Amino acid sequence: MFDFFSKKNEDNYERSRFSLGLDKLKQTLSQTTRTLVENIAENIEEESEFSDFVLDDMEDLLIRADLGVNYASELVDKLRGQDKIKPSEVKNYLRTEFLKTLSASGDTELNYKQNELNIYFVSGVNGVGKTTLIGKLAYRFKLESKKVLIAAGDTFRAAAEEQLDIWSKRAGADIVRRDKADPASVVFEAIQKAKNENYDVILIDTAGRLQNKYNLMEELSKIKAVIDKNASEFLRECILVLDANTGQNGLQQAKIFQEAINLTSVAITKLDGSAKGAIVLAIAKELKLPVKLIGVGEKMEDLKDFNSTDFIEALFS
Ligand SMILES: Nc1nc2c(ncn2[C@@H]2O[C@H](COP(=O)(O)OP(=O)(O)O)[C@@H](O)[C@H]2O)c(=O)[nH]1
Ligand SMILES: [Mg+2]
């Protein structure tokens, strides 16, 4: 009778604590649903067969929905010269294919090991929402009573450190910052402090200026080397932050970062109000990297766990 208080439900609560909920996710993705699903269904469903003409049309619509040229043509090619799947079933076909792609990209749960130090290295170009993501993550971990240290690795802009300071205070996390210092040395100091003082989490913020791509990648590789050398026994998650609105451009960025620092996951920010949520699928397909977090607003609590089944359900229901 008092099932509500059972252990099982407590576990479910823990798991769903940072999920957006299906209705809100639907609302967040509504513009993406419009371009990626409804628009295609409206144009294709009434056709009697997948003729070359219809398939060209479909490919064009998928590309315009920001799915990427390769992925779009692969989806269309599977329909060529077959008569099992009818145009009236196009929505179902896309649903199945999209879910397959997301499932193949790996586990979408953010890695975390209890009673150990967990290191989250956050990268991405300027303005995508790295510092905000760090603030939101700090807040989440603090809600779970974790001891959180932020390393201000964007020492290039003083304003970036100020912003991080504000976020850390808001979240109740500690911070290591050294104006104009070498970012790798800030990270080194943070790792030593975290080990000595038994922190659960380090969140590493980094610079993102792309004016000099080579320098930025050198700087990130150096930070990565410091982490790998000084904290190889701990969990290290390497997160790339992408702004949903950059669409296919985001995919190009991801390839550059992947080469330099071997990413383990992606966070897609500013999904709220974006029509380009197909980037989630393009990233999963092209880079085989799981999207683990989504940013759905500017507030502290607007960082949610990504869940493949919910994402597909929200797009297609
Ligand atoms: N709407 C919305 N805005 C966001 C989100 N994440 C970050 N922002 C905004 O994006 C801007 C740049 O964020 P910032 O964290 O400074 O980016 P950084 O340069 O990568 O560190 C700020 O105005 C944030 O409030 C999000 O998920 N949704
Ligand atoms: Mg920043």
Domain of residue 231, CATH code: 3.40.50.300
Q: Give me ligand 1 centre to Cα 10, in Å.
A: 32
**If you search the block for the tokens 């929200």, which residue do you land on?**
314
| Domain membership flag for residue 7 | yes
State whether 48 and 169 are in the same domain.
no
**If you search the block for the tokens 């619509």, which residue do you land on?**
61
State whether 61 and 175 are in the same domain.
no
Q: Give me ligand 2 centre to Cα 125, in Å.
A: 9
How much is the pLDDT for 273?
85
| Domain membership flag for residue 269 | no
Kindly identify the ligand whose nearest atom is closest to the C-alpha of 130.
Answer: 1
State whether 103 and 132 are in the same domain.
no
**By three-state DSSP, how is residue 88 classified?**
helix
State whether 229 and 156 are in the same domain.
yes
Q: Quick one: what percent of the chain has pLDDT higher than 70?
A: 94
| Domain membership flag for residue 306 | no
| Domain membership flag for residue 274 | no
124 CA: nearest ligand 1 atom: 20
Please report which residue ranges of the chain form alpha helices under DSSP H.
7-16, 22-28, 30-32, 39-44, 52-64, 69-77, 90-104, 130-143, 158-171, 183-196, 213-230, 248-261, 279-287, 308-316
297 CA: nearest ligand 1 atom: 28
| Domain membership flag for residue 126 | yes
Query: Which amino acid is present at 120?
Result: Y
| Domain membership flag for residue 75 | yes
Pocket lining for ligand 1, CB < 6 angstroms: 124, 126-132, 208, 269-270, 272, 295-298, 302
Q: Quick one: what percent of the chain has pLDDT higher than 90?
A: 83
Which residue of 165, 257, 298 sits with most ligand 1 atoms within 8 Å of its CB, as the best mutation to test the pocket? 298
For the whole prediction, is pTM greater than 0.85? yes
Mean pLDDT, the chain, whole residue set: 92
Among 299, 283, 186, residue whose Cα is nearest residue 240: 283
CB 220 within 8 A of CB 257: yes
Closest C-alpha residue for ligand 1 atom 17: 129
State whether 60 and 194 are in the same domain.
no
State whether 37 and 98 are in the same domain.
yes
Q: Which domain holds residue 76?
A: 1-111+311-317
CB 182 within 8 A of CB 131: no
Q: 3: pLDDT confidence band, cut at 50, 70 and 90?
A: very low
The domain tally of the chain equals 2
| Domain membership flag for residue 104 | yes
What is the token pair recorded at 131? 């510092």
Query: Which amino acid is present at 221?
Result: S
